[in-house]
Structure 1
Amino acid sequence: MYANFSESEQQFREEVRAFLRDNFDAELAARIDSHDGYKAATIEWQKKRYDKGWVAPGWPVEYGGCGWSDTQKYIFDNELAAVGAPDVPPFGLKMVGPVIYTFGNDEQKQRFLPGILSGDTWWCQGYSEPGAGSDLAGLQTRAERDGDDYIINGTKIWTTYAQYADWMFALVRTDNSGKPQQGISFVLIDMSSPGITVSPIISIDGEHHLNEVSFDNVRVPVANRIGEENQGWTYAKALLTHERTALSGIGYCKHTLSRIRSLAAAENNGGQPLLADSDFQARMADIEMELMALEFTELRVLAAVANGGAPGMESSLLKLKGTELQQAVQSLLYDVSGLYGAALPGEADLAALGHDYGYGARREYMFGRACTIYGGSNEVQKNIIAKFGLGL
């Protein structure tokens, strides 16, 4: 589709490469990947892109977007993946930001969008609850009106990076009288508010990504509600299409496949490099072909958005296939690691192979089992595709 870039596009690619050489290196990557330095290093990386004006490619120009063509977005994503540079955290820029500039009022846009762009304000998502995951309409966190405030009580769970967040965007129930999808409102909650408790959940990879967040008579100004009361389901659906598009993980898969190729070329398999094994080559080829097909699907979605549309059923396709490919890539990396996949941090075997080869391969494999569940389980995505794509 983009076999031959125009001269201006080639110049843009060189500009991106120069920016990455000057602003992203192994030291910054290591700090982003660390426990203690994650937030500070990630903010530093976001501010570098913000200062360049390259932090929100998908946003309209009037709200701080880049004004890039689909080809430029494609080039930028590929160059990020080529050097292993992470994207910025999605919760502000790819989730709540588009909801605010689409459905929020002018005061809310002026108040929240600048901090989302600069990285000065960090967000988390308050959707899932102990009794409402893929069936999100079953949420029970209650918001009762008290003058100019809502009083919120309930619990959110699986809340990624709530321990770092300054704000949460959340779905709360403001009316129980109608269908489950009715009576839900979309509110922005200051995480420093009295009555909020964040409890860590240690996931299967041994890391602290997730949290349970409880609300005990938490006061939230009605002015922090996005759009109309009881219409939050409409705004949530718009957000989920953006979230699911972001979950395709194409850049991650490309970068990990590059790592796998290098590792397999060095790994001994019966006196020959593992990369020379025909079965291994077939597995690599299958993943690469499916990844290419997924990438072109994402490009079509980007083109539709650029022409004033919104990601619809296609976002479910991207989420479904993208997360399956992420798991296939993680399984391949884990297989390449062999016995080193059983190593623990600090063990001698890791010194010769790199800190993320054995233990890191297992960690990615373990946590990757969740990617077909979060953001709406893949079973739910198949139902959406069947209904809206196939008319079943």
Structure 2
Amino acid sequence: MDFTFGPDDTAFRAEARGWLEAHLVGEYAAAAGTGGPGSEHEGVAVRRAWERELGRDGWIGLGWDDRGTGRGNRRASLTQQVVWAEEYARAAAPARVGHIGENLLAPTLIAYGSEEQRRRFLPAVARGEELWCQGYSEPDAGSDLAAVRTAAVPDRSGGHRVTGQKIWTSLAKEADWCFVLARTEPGSSRHHGLSFLLVPMDQPGRIEVRPIRQMSGTSEFNEVFFDGAHAEECVGGEGNGWTVAMGLLALERGVSTLVQQIGFAAELGRVVRAAVDGGAVTDPVLRERLVRQWAQLRTMRWNALRTLGSTGDPGAPSVAKLLWGGWHQRLGELAVQVRGTAAAVGPDDWSAKAPYGLDEAQRLFLFTRSDTIYGGSDEIQRNIIAERVLGLPREPR
């Protein structure tokens, strides 16, 4: 595809940059750069208010098609979506708490939901008023998603009652809703008999959220326990949950990947500066690894741009996940290696780093150990590429 920025994109960039400069003030300016992977616990109240600020001026749902309600029903072009993502990242605006609703739930409803479901849920996401979390993984069904055991039975209201456990659920404590993959056909197995359910989180006594403390000291992931919780809606029809769930996972690429890479570039820049300031850059091995990180990041960008123009590529999300997961993990290793022995001790002001002292590089190193596991492990991604793209024989079960 022709991926060049034209006059309309330049005007849109000026509009986006001007809006961000005008609105990133006060408490929003103080929250600049907060949140995101490894730091979702930071400034949640301010970031939630920021979400509503974005919604009031139509900056949520830029990529939704005509069945959505983003941008006042004026859909931004693909290049304009990239422009907005670039300007947002470069402004160091607070990390979005509504990204699961905007980038995963909404496109899924547009593709698989009913008109009534789109009218009910999309406007609230577009206004930044309702936040979502994702109920997929379970203790015995992480990367092997088809092994889910959470069950749901019909109730008198026309919905379902959900019982089971989900794990590694980001933003579960903040979310108003959760989309849950549950087994609605008793006795079914694997990808059969699953449904994609929409569950309100405000159900005291029916839903319990327990934070999971990580080795980085934060607790952005959660366990979620459902005890007969009411599911209000079923998307795509009962028993079609696997199709809907796989369609949603295919959406985890594209423009959002480019946003992620801008953040990666900023992190790489800080690691390079630490190597220069500390003298580690004179080590030819470390210097070569830093250059390699830069080159690989450029390769990931071109791959993301290439896949933006493709449709129906079953391997694209897996290739992207393999690329960035390993890259980010290696960056975490470099972040501490360029500092040498100093990386083994904490900051001087331990009290300011509760629950225990970690500086930015140490937290990056610890959190990125999970990058090749969460969101589908590297092993699972390679299986998907082998079986669905290369046509190789399936692994024996």
Does the TM-score normalized on the shorter chain lie above 0.5? yes
1:293 is aligned to: 299
What is the identity, as a one-letter code, of the residue corresponding to 2:180?
A
1:363 aligns with 2:363: yes
Q: Distance in 1 between matches of 2:146 and 2:291?
A: 40
Q: Distance in 2 between matches of 1:287 and 1:320?
A: 15
Larger displacement relative to structure 2 (147-156 or 33-42) = 33-42
1:354 is aligned to: none
Report SS of the residue matched to 1:369.
helix
Alignment of 1:103-118 (within 5 A): 103-118=112-127
Q: Distance in 2 between matches of 1:115 and 1:4?
A: 33
Q: Distance in 1 between matches of 2:382 and 2:322?
A: 8
Alignment of 1:6-17 (within 5 A): 6-17=6-17
Contact 1:144 1:150 in 2 (8 A): yes
1:331 is aligned to: 333
Report SS of the residue matched to 1:317.
helix
What is the identity, as a one-letter code, of the residue corresponding to 2:373?
I
What is the identity, as a one-letter code, of the residue corresponding to 1:201?
I
Question: What count of residue pairs does the alignment treat as equivalent?
Answer: 376
1:53 is aligned to: 58
Contact 1:160 1:210 in 2 (8 A): yes
The 1:45–1:312 alpha-carbon spacing in structure 2 relative to 1, beyond 3 Å, is farther
What is the identity, as a one-letter code, of the residue corresponding to 1:27?
A
Task: Return the match for 2:273 from 262, 267, 274.
Answer: 262
The 1:2–1:276 alpha-carbon spacing in structure 2 relative to 1, beyond 3 Å, is farther
Task: Return the match for 1:281 from 283, 287, 295.
Answer: 287
1:150 is aligned to: 160
Q: Distance in 2 between matches of 1:316 and 1:247?
A: 12
Report SS of the residue matched to 1:29.
coil
What is the identity, as a one-letter code, of the residue corresponding to 2:56?
D
Q: Distance in 2 between matches of 1:3 and 1:149?
A: 45
Q: Distance in 2 between matches of 1:47 and 1:339?
A: 44
Deviation at 1:201, TM superposition (A): 0.9
Q: Distance in 2 between matches of 1:387 and 1:295?
A: 25
Q: Distance in 2 between matches of 1:348 and 1:128?
A: 35
Contact 1:247 1:319 in 2 (8 A): no
Contact 2:170 2:220 in 1 (8 A): yes
Report SS of the residue matched to 2:226.
strand
Report SS of the residue matched to 2:161.
strand
C-alpha distance after superposition, 1:161-209 (max 9, x if no partner): 2111111110111114444101001101111124111112101211011
What is the identity, as a one-letter code, of the residue corresponding to 1:159?
T
Contact 1:340 1:359 in 2 (8 A): no
Task: Return the match for 1:201 from 198, 203, 212.
Answer: 212
Q: Distance in 2 between matches of 1:174 and 1:345?
A: 51
Cα RMSD after superposing both structures:
2.9
Contact 2:33 2:95 in 1 (8 A): no
Deviation at 1:366, TM superposition (A): 1.0
Normalised by the length of structure 1, the TM-score is 0.86
What is the identity, as a one-letter code, of the residue corresponding to 1:78?
E
Gapped regions of structure 1 (runs ≥ 5)? 352-356
Alignment of 1:12-51 (within 5 A): 12-24=12-24, 26-29=29-32, 32=35, 38-51=43-56
Contact 1:70 1:299 in 2 (8 A): no
C-alpha distance after superposition, 1:121-153 (max 9, x if no partner): 111111111111111111111111233242221
Q: Distance in 2 between matches of 1:40 and 1:311?
A: 38
Report SS of the residue matched to 1:330.
helix
Deviation at 1:391, TM superposition (A): 1.9
Q: Distance in 2 between matches of 1:316 and 1:35?
A: 24
1:161 aligns with 2:171: yes
Q: Distance in 1 between matches of 2:219 and 2:78?
A: 35
Q: Distance in 2 between matches of 1:179 and 1:30?
A: 43
Contact 1:150 1:219 in 2 (8 A): yes
Contact 1:241 1:312 in 2 (8 A): yes
Q: Distance in 1 between matches of 2:51 and 2:369?
A: 28
Deviation at 1:75, TM superposition (A): 3.0
Task: Return the match for 2:192 from 182, 193, 196.
Answer: 182
1:227 is aligned to: 236
What is the identity, as a one-letter code, of the residue corresponding to 1:127?
Y
Contact 2:41 2:218 in 1 (8 A): no
Q: Distance in 1 between matches of 2:269 and 2:56?
A: 30
Normalised by the length of structure 2, the TM-score is 0.85
Deviation at 1:156, TM superposition (A): 0.9
Contact 2:154 2:161 in 1 (8 A): yes
Report SS of the residue matched to 2:181.
strand
Larger displacement relative to structure 2 (367-376 or 174-183) = 174-183
1:313 aligns with 2:315: yes
1:379 is aligned to: 379
Q: Distance in 1 between matches of 2:363 and 2:213?
A: 13
What is the identity, as a one-letter code, of the residue corresponding to 1:63?
G
Q: Distance in 2 between matches of 1:75 and 1:200?
A: 35
Larger displacement relative to structure 2 (107-116 or 66-75) = 66-75
1:72 aligns with 2:80: yes
1:121 is aligned to: 130
What is the identity, as a one-letter code, of the residue corresponding to 1:375?
G
Q: Distance in 2 between matches of 1:289 and 1:98?
A: 32
Q: Distance in 2 between matches of 1:3 and 1:214?
A: 45
Contact 1:189 1:220 in 2 (8 A): yes
What is the identity, as a one-letter code, of the residue corresponding to 1:326?
H
Contact 1:327 1:368 in 2 (8 A): yes
Alignment of 1:76-91 (within 5 A): 76-89=84-97, 90-91=99-100
